[in-house]
Structure 1
Amino acid sequence: MRLATIVPAEVDFSDPAAPAAPAFGDVYHSRAGALAQARHVFLGGNGLPGRWQGRRRFVVLETGFGLGNNFLATWDAWRQDPARCERLVFVSVEKHPLRREDLARAHAASPLPELAAQLVAAWPPLTPGLHTLRFEAGRVELLLGLGDARELLRELVLQADALYLDGFAPARNPELWDEWLLKSLARHAAPGTTAATWSINRPMRRALAALGFKVCLAPGFANKPEMTVARFAPRHSPQRPAGREPLAPEAREAVIVGAGLAGAACALALSRAGVACTVVDALGAPAQASSGNPTGLFHGTVNPDDGPHARFNRAAALATQRLVAELGLPHQPGLLRLETRLPLAAMSRMDGYVQALSAAEAAALAGTALAHPAWFYPGGGALDPAAYTRAMLAASGAALRLAAPVAALRESDAGWALLDAGGAVIASAPLVVLAGGHGQLPLLGELATGLVVQRGQLSHLPQAPWCPALPIAGEGYAIADGRGGAWCGATTQDGDLDPALRAADQADNLARYARLAGLARVPEAPLAGRVGWRLIAPDRLPLVGGLAASGPAASQLRLQARRPGLVVCTGFASRGISWAALAGELAAALALGGPRPLEAELLDAVDPLRFALRRARRTTIAALPD
């Protein structure tokens, strides 16, 4: 999947009662009122709020986010309903989203000022892909897909309870109403899923009926005498691919192995979904392994083709930016990544996410001379990973079981039990998440094949000759410590388990620091720093997902049956801070069955079974006759 740069909407506000989209020659909502229209057509047409009452989770899927009034009306109805579902997930796609300032203008006189203000404040940078915005302490979630609906609907992994069909008029925006797109919507429906729209377009109604919906007309809103409502009632119930089935959909308790960044992020995401978590770790306190480094960077990446690595890192960096702000975590905001050549101008259009700067522009931000142009990540920066870990654990309310090494797992009818070296049960639950680092490799079995344990040493200069005003990365990195010193690093040695600080490694770090700073001489400093270990997959992406069930391997990851109640979230390499928030959200969604916060292609890119599938394919090819 390749997503083009997002082109923001141009909105004509000359008629305050009905903002218009000149590119489509249509208005965003009826002059009779956006919220009134949303309540009559989309909530009423889908039987809401009644249908979500008593549910653990209710999922709405919308075509065309527009000004966001349908979301605000649905959120308000959820708020007002004492019998509301535990969690409301609203998924919407939009090819031409509003700029933040236009969104604020559209809701300047909103009848729901508090909710509208929260939406404007949470509005993401206009970058392609999925953005998860959370409200009501995570109980209301907006999964906003920016890009072409025809691409995004094919990549979404979710099961919707209600469909809002709300593009511009079929005659003006036919791509959002044709049979191809409606078929993509139907793939996300289950028997009983409802749909509603203000349109009574006959080809649209015929297409819905052909896809298994029972379609009828209902009283319309304002000057429209009729509208369309539908209910999915196919002759044959569609089967979901085995690899997309939730791993523990009814779990209310979970045990997480690992009290570092990965484990803390999983505990936070699961707790927000109503799961009580216990975090078990072999060490005596949280964040004592790699997550115990004194500081670390978080930021995304860019590349010319916007491939899976760039898209995953972008989604992860934006998720981290949101969570760090939500937790109120102290950090050094902004990050410069130096390049030896001027970055591609085409990639600099992702405003709010990354900007391409000349050497002079980058130097002005850094407060010091720089020899190269740079990517500037305004939402990136540096923080204390141990503080981040502790903040996530505190927000999750998870119970901690420390100094409790896990030697084995045992499956039972009730879930999984964690055993110590003597075979005694440490903890048990219907859901277990393996979210430790290299210390948990024995628990991963064949999944550990090909993973690399990499030693890294970072160094500290107590009196640094060069302290940039914001973190700088390139060939190595430099982070001011706020006391006139700086951290720099880091070395990489595969398979090296030596915990001692080495003078040779410090020399390497200081040499990289000198090159970043443009210093004529490498500075001297007493041997000081920290050693840690990274767990790295061959393709430099994490492992997040389920393990294969026994039996023959499937030809595709989405078809592979998984072991129930068991999730892996590991292999964070040197990007633990950047990846933890998104990986935790994904682990929770895979376990409980909520909408996945990543596109299907990216789910495959981080699937723990991807390497086994590639090995099997190579074996099959090698066995073919010449």
Structure 2
Amino acid sequence: MTRAPITPARVVFQDDAPPFAPDFGDVYHARAGALSQARHVFVAGNGLPGRWQGRERFVVLETGFGLGNNFLATWAAWRQDPARCERLVFVSVEKHPLRADDLARAHAASPLPELAARLIERWPPLTPGLHTLSFEGGRVELLLGLGDARELLRELVLQADALYLDGFAPQRNPELWDEWLLKSLARHAAPGTTAATWSINRPMRRALASLGFEVELAPGFADKPEMTVARFAPRHQPQRPAAREPLAPAAKRAVILGAGLAGAACALALSRQGLACTVVDALPGPAQASSGNPAGLFHGTVNPDDGPHARFNRAAALATQGLLAELGLPHQRGLLRLETRLPLSKMQGVPGYVQALSADEASRMADTDLRHPAWFYPGGGALDPAAYTRAMLAASGATLRMATPVAALREAPGGWQLLDAGGGVIDEAALVVLAGGHGQLPLLGELAGDLVVQRGQLSHLADAPWCPGLPIAGDGYAIADGRGGVWCGATAQDGDLDRALREADQSGNLMRYARLAGLAAAPQAPLAGRVGWRLIAADRLPLIGGLAAPGPRAEQLRLQPRRPGLVVCTAFASRGIGWAALAGRLAAALAVGSPRPLEAELLDAVDPLRFALRRQRRSGA
């Protein structure tokens, strides 16, 4: 599903009245106060804070993020409640979000200045799709969906505990209140889910009642005598698709196989879901396989149709940007990617995410003469992947068991056992995550046949004739090492397991470096660099999700039952740095059943069973 570019909200700020939306002819909140309205209508109207007390997780789903006051009021109520739920997930969709400067102006005199400042600091670029903003060490998450609610609600995978029905008045914004949209909301409700809104629109109340809600009028806020509250009480229990069921709902502990970027990201995300994590690896320490490269790039991608690859890579790049900010990890900020196919006139940037630059503009950034225009990713860059891995592991608090090869897995009552070469039990847990690289292929079963092991060699120039002003990629890449040298590369040879550095590969890397640098000839340098291996799927997307349960295969990924307690998070190709944060978050959400950080279409795009399903369809089985 292609996402239309986001059109930001137009806001008129008034000294003596609430902010006004001229495109809808309506104000953003009641004159009596946005936070007071949010607390009365949405927080109290949904029985909060009482309903979340003692809960592991509580999920709010809102239509119309607006200025964000409902989120801030809910976050503040959570903070003030000593009996609060362990984790609060606030999901909101917004077709016309505010620009960052307008959001800052809207909250310039906020009664919740600290929370408002943190929201503004984390405000994402206005790109279509889901954005996860993490607060309180991951215990509060804002899952912000930018785009048309009628499209996004179909793509959300979650079960809500409370619904906030907000937005401009039904007569001014009817698409946000009609039966079709309310039906989409009801699909995310379970028996007992509540709903509240300031509106008492009769067609809306009739639609809610027809969908299985018990609807009542309650005292309204300020000059509105009444508001609507509701509770989902359907006659029949809604059936959830198999893909929505958590893979390890009762797990309190997880064992993650792999101490590289993927494993570290899974450990961090699972720890934020309240699980105690143990990370197991065959090598003596973390990040000693592919994640041990001395430097690597991360950035999104752009393509004209904004297909699954572009959308996944964009979501992953923004997730990485957010996590690096949380961890405070030093890295090189900003990245140039040369565009050799499109002229500058055909390149369309996205403010805050990617900018199209002429060859002259890019040359000034790169400190060399470039012959092509370039994409500039201000949130991209380069970093030491091993340092990133260690930072995630440290933040997770995971127990590390290094130098511990795992030869096989065995299903056991209540979980999975890890076995050594002699069949002895190394460990067991209700949740096991396979998050290693090519060395873990024997554990992946039939999935191994869908993957390719690719050798890559990168080279190091200790005394480089040109150090780029910021990381640059195109035909190869170049990253300054901060000491007058450059890392450049990289080669790609499928099925090649040679560990030795090769002169021929270094020669190829230095030729690519010379073309990036605008040099007449490749420099000569002693053989230096590193060899690693990438695990790659045919469609160049990762494998994240559950494995098929025994029995006949379903005709759709979303209907396929999965083996409980087992999650795969692998095949990161050459994008381990940029994919890890989002992949770990998704693996954790699939395990525990929290709202998925990606739309359903993208969940299918990275599902480990996608290739088997395609083969099944081709064979007609």
Q: Classify the TM-score, shorter chain.
A: over 0.9
Q: TM-score, normalised by structure 2?
A: 0.99
2:414 and 2:582 map into 1 onto residues whose CA distance is 28
* 2:233 aligned partner, one-letter code: A
Cα distance per residue 1:123-171 (max 9 Å; x no partner) = 0011110000011111000000000100100100000000000010000
Tell me which moved more, 411-420 or 495-504. Answer: 411-420
CA shift, 1:343, in A, is 5.3
CA shift, 1:516, in A, is 1.2
Tell me which moved more, 250-259 or 16-25. Answer: 16-25
> Percent of aligned positions with the same letter in both sequences?
84
Listed as ranges, the gaps of 5+ residues in structure 2 are none
CA shift, 1:342, in A, is 4.3
Could you say which residue in structure 1 is the equivalent of 2:299? 299
SS at match of 2:619: helix
Residues 37-56 of structure 1 aligned to structure 2 (within 5 Å):
37-56=37-56
Could you say which residue in structure 2 is the equivalent of 1:339? 339
Could you say which residue in structure 2 is the equivalent of 1:211? 211
Cα distance per residue 1:252-285 (max 9 Å; x no partner) = 1000000000000000000011100000000000
* 1:463 aligned partner, one-letter code: D
Tell me the C-alpha RMSD between the 2 structures: 0.9
Could you say which residue in structure 1 is the equivalent of 2:173? 173
Could you say which residue in structure 1 is the equivalent of 2:120? 120
Could you say which residue in structure 2 is the equivalent of 1:193? 193
1:474 and 1:113 map into 2 onto residues whose CA distance is 43
CA shift, 1:15, in A, is 3.7
1:402 and 1:208 map into 2 onto residues whose CA distance is 55
CA shift, 1:14, in A, is 1.6
SS at match of 1:131: strand
2:252 and 2:332 map into 1 onto residues whose CA distance is 37
Cα distance per residue 1:75-115 (max 9 Å; x no partner) = 00000000000000000000000011110100000000000
Could you say which residue in structure 1 is the equivalent of 2:288? 288
Tell me, yes or no, if the aligned pair for 2:344 and 2:373 is still in contact at 8 Å.
Answer: no
Could you say which residue in structure 2 is the equivalent of 1:473? 473
Change (3 A) 1:448 1:16: farther
Could you say which residue in structure 1 is the equivalent of 2:411? 411
CA shift, 1:482, in A, is 0.8
Could you say which residue in structure 2 is the equivalent of 1:619? 619
Could you say which residue in structure 2 is the equivalent of 1:260? 260
Tell me, yes or no, if the aligned pair for 1:343 and 1:356 is still in contact at 8 Å.
Answer: no
Residues 376-525 of structure 1 aligned to structure 2 (within 5 Å):
376-525=376-525
Tell me, yes or no, if the aligned pair for 2:257 and 2:279 is still in contact at 8 Å.
Answer: yes
CA shift, 1:367, in A, is 2.3
Tell me, yes or no, if the aligned pair for 1:252 and 1:276 is still in contact at 8 Å.
Answer: yes
- Runs of 4+ with deviation above 2 angstroms: 341-349
1:503 and 1:479 map into 2 onto residues whose CA distance is 20
1:563 and 1:70 map into 2 onto residues whose CA distance is 38
Tell me, yes or no, if the aligned pair for 2:57 and 2:85 is still in contact at 8 Å.
Answer: yes
1:346 and 1:233 map into 2 onto residues whose CA distance is 53
2:176 and 2:347 map into 1 onto residues whose CA distance is 28
Q: Does 1:362 align with 2:359?
A: no
Q: Does 1:149 align with 2:149?
A: yes
* 1:220 aligned partner, one-letter code: G
Tell me, yes or no, if the aligned pair for 2:368 and 2:518 is still in contact at 8 Å.
Answer: no
Could you say which residue in structure 2 is the equivalent of 1:554? 554
Q: Does 1:220 align with 2:213?
A: no
1:358 and 1:16 map into 2 onto residues whose CA distance is 45
1:274 and 1:378 map into 2 onto residues whose CA distance is 33
1:322 and 1:345 map into 2 onto residues whose CA distance is 31
Tell me, yes or no, if the aligned pair for 1:67 and 1:106 is still in contact at 8 Å.
Answer: yes
Q: TM-score, normalised by structure 1?
A: 0.98
Change (3 A) 1:427 1:378: same
Cα distance per residue 1:542-579 (max 9 Å; x no partner) = 00000000000000000000000000000000000000
Tell me, yes or no, if the aligned pair for 1:341 and 1:373 is still in contact at 8 Å.
Answer: no
Change (3 A) 1:345 1:549: farther
Could you say which residue in structure 1 is the equivalent of 2:64? 64
CA shift, 1:449, in A, is 1.1
* 1:188 aligned partner, one-letter code: H
CA shift, 1:249, in A, is 1.2
Cα distance per residue 1:469-504 (max 9 Å; x no partner) = 100000100001111110100000000000000000
**Count of matched residue pairs:** 621
2:99 and 2:347 map into 1 onto residues whose CA distance is 18
CA shift, 1:2, in A, is 1.2
Could you say which residue in structure 1 is the equivalent of 2:603? 603
1:515 and 1:73 map into 2 onto residues whose CA distance is 54
Cα distance per residue 1:351-388 (max 9 Å; x no partner) = 11100100011112222221110000000000000000
Could you say which residue in structure 2 is the equivalent of 1:540? 540
SS at match of 1:312: helix
Tell me, yes or no, if the aligned pair for 2:344 and 2:358 is still in contact at 8 Å.
Answer: no
Change (3 A) 1:44 1:346: farther
1:63 and 1:564 map into 2 onto residues whose CA distance is 33
Q: Does 1:80 align with 2:80?
A: yes
CA shift, 1:407, in A, is 0.3
SS at match of 2:279: strand
SS at match of 2:90: strand
* 1:388 aligned partner, one-letter code: Y
1:194 and 1:346 map into 2 onto residues whose CA distance is 48
Q: Does 1:101 align with 2:101?
A: yes
Tell me, yes or no, if the aligned pair for 1:341 and 1:372 is still in contact at 8 Å.
Answer: no
1:350 and 1:124 map into 2 onto residues whose CA distance is 12
* 2:289 aligned partner, one-letter code: A
Could you say which residue in structure 2 is the equivalent of 1:247? 247
Tell me, yes or no, if the aligned pair for 1:21 and 1:28 is still in contact at 8 Å.
Answer: yes
CA shift, 1:423, in A, is 1.0
* 1:553 aligned partner, one-letter code: R
1:94 and 1:169 map into 2 onto residues whose CA distance is 15
2:243 and 2:94 map into 1 onto residues whose CA distance is 28
CA shift, 1:16, in A, is 5.0
* 2:259 aligned partner, one-letter code: A
SS at match of 1:19: strand
Q: Does 1:275 align with 2:275?
A: yes
SS at match of 2:309: helix
Tell me, yes or no, if the aligned pair for 1:262 and 1:436 is still in contact at 8 Å.
Answer: yes
1:270 and 1:403 map into 2 onto residues whose CA distance is 23
CA shift, 1:450, in A, is 2.3
1:126 and 1:243 map into 2 onto residues whose CA distance is 29
